[in-house]
A and B are shown apart, each in its own frame.
Chain A
Amino acid sequence: MNEAVSIRNLRKSFGSKVVLEDVSLEIPRGQTFALLGRNGAGKTTLIRILLGLIPPDGGSARLLDRDPASEPIEVRRRVGYLAEDQVMYGWMTPLELCRFLEPFYPSWDMRTAQDYLDRFEIPRHSRIRHLSKGQTVKLGLAIALAHRPDLAILDDPSIGLDPIARKEFNRDLIEHLQAEGRTVLYSSHLLDEVEAVADAVAILHNGRIARQAPTEVLRDEIKQIVLPLDAVDSVRPPAGLLDVRRLDDRIAVTVDRAAPFIESLATGAIDHEVVDLSLDDIFEAIVIGRPQGWPRPLSAVAI
């Protein structure tokens, strides 16, 4: 099987609050995959289910051919996990923490662990509570990788890092995970950085995956098209309409899988302009776009 992660119809509610309504997702081996969503969209809940830390209400997940609900320990032994708010024993030193963790992982490699401590410039003998935020995140990454996992799951790794530390972290991710062919699933809301690093993205919204695609495909397929307002007389709202905005005498529409619509405008000789969108714009259109605003044809407006 080629998927490192395979999720089918996963559901989870906390009390009356539905967090994951119906989530399905496949991540091929070797891919760097970014899970995007607003705060509270359910990214961390999904990740915690994948690691067998909480049970789903329904549906199934498989990581590296194992089911986290029935074999949580086996899954956690094989997956490198960096939690969102990693709490570590502040009185330990990084080296002591590595020794402490070693027995939990059959494939733990103390040399690899120490290599990472050196490469990430983490002082081995300082107390963890004296490390900076950036050093703590890097220590988290070092211990997530020290057992040489085929799959690393990183929950918002760049939260709280300054811009330079984030860039360094991305470089480490590229050098130590991507270039070695390992699968990475990470959640983030720093879209500019995701675009540079991820092979593919999924947008989690309203308890479902609103869209999943390779990063470049997403940018190829979702476009903004600016039309003169009077064109709405002859143009019908296209399939895949994500957002409509009115700008004086023009309207700007954001459309998913826009190619057929653009073609129909061209064949209909309707004046239009196609605008490329950044990942940020695309995310916004999917998550808070308002497709209802298609203007009524002008000719129908009574004065």
Chain B
Amino acid sequence: MFIRVERGSSVPISRQIGEQIRAQCLSGALKPGDALPAVRRLAQQLAVNVNTILRVYERLAADKLVEMRHGDGTYVLPAAGKASGSRLLAEQRDQYTGELNAIVCRGLLLGLKPQELRRMVTSAVAAARSGFESDSATTASEPAGARSS
């Protein structure tokens, strides 16, 4: 599972982590039955407070995205009602589109040309993808066709 925490951001760390896991559940990068990393392991890996991770998992469990099995682990649930899952995904994508528009707008205000912006997006996609691929858990679930683009 690939998670990136931005320190010093105005978005609280628990929300950053929660939203990334949620997005991966909704997009299918994490599949029903997949195990999330153990709380302590993820805490250690991200250098984030154990209780913060625990709170994130509990919130995801309250939203029925994952199930915490006592003494066993935390597993992704089948999207409770595929419809509501895809609605949530659509909502998240809408929100993302809004954020992207704002960023593009700022770039134009800073005097960047459209082709420069396009180049930046391309290299950001490449960088993000190499981040995903260095992480074994997500590599397997990535469709093979996506890489040649």
Interface pair A174/B8, CB less than 8 Å apart: no
Interface pair B10/A276, CB less than 8 Å apart: yes
Interface pair B49/A174, CB less than 8 Å apart: yes
| Given known contacts A175-B40, A195-B13, A170 and B8 CB-to-CB distance under 8 angstroms | no
A225 and B44 alpha carbons, distance in the complex (Å): 35
Interface pair B8/A178, CB less than 8 Å apart: no
Chain A neighbourhood of B46, CB < 8 A: 196
- How many A-B pairs with Cβ below 8 Å? 56
Q: Is A280 an interface residue (CB 8 A)?
A: yes
Interface residues as binary, A194-235 with B (CB distance below 8 Å gives 1, 0 otherwise): 011111000000000000000010010000000000000000
A279 and B13 alpha carbons, distance in the complex (Å): 11
Interface pair B10/A196, CB less than 8 Å apart: no
Interface of A, secondary structure class, is: helix
Shortest Cβ distance from B82 into chain A, in angstroms? 32
Interface pair B10/A275, CB less than 8 Å apart: yes
Q: Is A87 an interface residue (CB 8 A)?
A: no
Interface pair B7/A196, CB less than 8 Å apart: yes
| Given known contacts A32-B49, A174-B47, A196 and B13 CB-to-CB distance under 8 angstroms | yes
Residue of chain A at shortest CB distance from B13 = A196
Interface pair B43/A199, CB less than 8 Å apart: no
Chain A neighbourhood of B9, CB < 8 A: 278
11 residue pairs A–B, Cβ–Cβ below 8 Å: A175-B40, A178-B43, A192-B7, A192-B8, A193-B7, A195-B8, A197-B49, A216-B14, A276-B10, A276-B11, A281-B10
